[in-house]
Amino acid sequence: MERKTVFSGLQPTGNVHVGNYLGALRNWVALQEEYDCIYCVVDLHAITVPLDPASFNQDRIDAAKVLIAAGVDPERSLFYYQSQVPQHTELAWILGSITGTGQLNRMTQFKDKADRAGSNLGLYSYPVLMAADILLYRADAVPVGDDQKQHLELTRDLAERFNHRYGEEFPIPEPIIPETGARIMSLQDPTSKMSKSDENEESRILVLDDADVIRKRIKRAVTDSGSGIRLDWETKPGVSNLMEMLSLFSGMSMAEIEAEYGDSGYGTFKEVVAEAVIEDLAPIRRAYGELEDGEVARLMQRGALDARTRAEGFQQRVRRRVGLTG
Ligand code: AMP
Ligand code: TRP
């Protein structure tokens, strides 16, 4: 039987944090066992907010290195930079022509980002480029965190609309969103998600942070003035977030955590969480240290070459459907 296709992307802005890792990356790695996987460093999505061109290429290499160190395997999966495969933007334009502006106006991530950084056309059409990424390869499934749900809905909608107007071409992709870990919260404000763009670096743990930094971040994580380790997102969001991290990093269930640490003080519990995070992330940090920039750049070049060939085969069918071939 032919394997199903998985596609996902990550922006090379700032550093990859444990939210990215638990919400998306871990799934990317696991899915390689069963699926035909395509993973993309989405550099064109990243430039929709102001970036420093002098360091951007290094940011891309660093992001690619973190992904490889975490287990994305360029020998098994197609892995490349989005900007090196022009079929993404071509398909985005075609899909843009069947996207209602009313629909884009409802995208909550656009509204958030536009409020913070100011609006521009790239930011506005960001979800259309994301739909193109996914549909370009006829992906069946898309592993992402909870914050991408709305973008996935739009992608499904555009696939249906295209099929209706031009003939059956795209499968309708399914999101793969983990039951726990899909929304890891900020360590400083456990009612908002952990984010790369938060100005306060104490709000997140990076996949490459060393043991001392991880201990410090967790020690300073906001909890509440009560006591007791129990899962209660309403009144104990900080503790619940730490419990979720412990569960995902150690494999313990929530019930096991409550049974074992229910009566512990916050200080003691935080030490346990920190050690679990440190132990799980250490091999990634080590693998990252062993990767060379030049080697990664070469892998990405090769990935782009393969991706272009594959994308072009699919894209010819889209052009034919739309009436863009002679
Ligand atoms: P980004 O950094 O925006 O490119 O996100 C890469 C992936 O990480 C996407 O699939 C996001 O949904 C996921 N992600 C981002 N932040 C979090 C978070 N706080 N918790 C869980 N998943 C997240
Ligand atoms: N928008 C996603 C994010 O911010 C990144 C992304 C771009 C993506 N293209 C994608 C995710 C295609 C999944 C599939 O996290």
Domains annotated for the chain, with CATH where assigned, are 5-181+292-322 (3.40.50.620), 201-288 (1.10.240.10)
Whether residue 326 is predicted with pLDDT greater than 90 in this model: the reply is: no
Whether residue 99 is predicted with pLDDT greater than 90 in this model: the reply is: yes
Give the distance (Å) from ligand 2 centre to CA of residue 45.
8
Mean pLDDT along residues 166-170: 98
Q: Which ligand is nearest to the CA of 63?
A: 1
Give the distance (Å) from ligand 2 centre to CA of residue 288.
23
Confidence of residue 192 (pLDDT cuts 50, 70, 90): very high
Confidence of residue 116 (pLDDT cuts 50, 70, 90): confident
Whether 63 lines ligand 2, by a CB cut-off of 6 Å, is no
Whether residue 44 is predicted with pLDDT greater than 80 in this model: the reply is: yes
Whether residue 14 is predicted with pLDDT greater than 80 in this model: the reply is: no
Cβ-in-10-Å burial (0-12, 13-18, 19+) of 274 comes to buried
**Tokens coding 139:** 């992906």
pLDDT of residue 2: 85
- CB under 6 Å to ligand 1: residues? 10-11, 19-20, 23-24, 144-145, 147-148, 182-184, 193-194, 196
To test ligand 2's pocket by mutation, which of 41, 89, 148 has the most ligand atoms within 8 angstroms of CB? 148
User: Angle CA(91)–CA(97)–CA(99) in degrees, nearest 5?
Assistant: 100
**Rounded-to-integer distance, Cα 128 and Cα 88, Å:** 10
To test ligand 1's pocket by mutation, which of 147, 189, 192, 198 has the most ligand atoms within 8 angstroms of CB? 147
pLDDT of residue 287: 98
Q: How far is residue 207 CA from its own chain's centroid?
A: 13
Whether 7 lines ligand 2, by a CB cut-off of 6 Å, is yes
Confidence of residue 108 (pLDDT cuts 50, 70, 90): very high
Mean pLDDT along residues 63-70: 98
Whether 142 lines ligand 2, by a CB cut-off of 6 Å, is yes
Confidence of residue 191 (pLDDT cuts 50, 70, 90): very high
Give the distance (Å) from ligand 2 centre to CA of residue 202.
25
Give 203-228 pLDDT, tens digit per residue.
999 999 999 999 999 999 999 999 99
**Tokens coding 285:** 């940090």
pLDDT of residue 16: 96
Give 246-295 pLDDT, tens digit per residue.
999 999 999 999 999 999 999 999 999 999 999 999 999 999 999 999 99
Closest ligand 1 atom to Cα of 181: 21
Helices assigned H by DSSP within the chain: 18-20, 26-31, 43-46, 53-70, 87-96, 101-105, 108-117, 121-136, 149-166, 211-219, 237-250, 254-261, 266-290, 293-322
Whether 247 lines ligand 2, by a CB cut-off of 6 Å, is no
Contact present, 132 and 92 (Cβ < 8 Å): yes
To test ligand 1's pocket by mutation, which of 20, 176, 197 has the most ligand atoms within 8 angstroms of CB? 20
Contact present, 229 and 261 (Cβ < 8 Å): yes
pLDDT of residue 209: 97
**Tokens coding 164:** 């209706």
Confidence of residue 238 (pLDDT cuts 50, 70, 90): very high
User: Angle CA(190)–CA(192)–CA(247) in degrees, nearest 5?
Assistant: 50
Mean pLDDT along residues 231-236: 96
Give 73-90 pLDDT, tens digit per residue.
999 999 999 999 999 999
- The answer, as to whether pTM is greater than 0.95, is yes
Mean pLDDT across the chain, nearest whole number? 96
Mean pLDDT along residues 8-17: 93
* Residues with active-site annotation: 113, 193, 196
DSSP symbol at 175: E
Contact present, 6 and 46 (Cβ < 8 Å): no
- 217-224's contacts with Cβ under 8 Å and 24+ in sequence apart are 217/187, 218/187, 218/242, 218/270, 218/273, 218/274, 218/277, 219/267, 219/270, 219/274, 220/187, 221/187, 221/188, 221/270, 222/187, 222/188, 222/189, 222/190, 223/266
**Rounded-to-integer distance, Cα 237 and Cα 116, Å:** 25
Handedness of CA 190, 194, 199, 201 (dihedral sign): positive
Confidence of residue 185 (pLDDT cuts 50, 70, 90): very high
**Tokens coding 137:** 């390869």
pLDDT of residue 146: 96
Whether 156 lines ligand 2, by a CB cut-off of 6 Å, is no
pLDDT of residue 15: 86
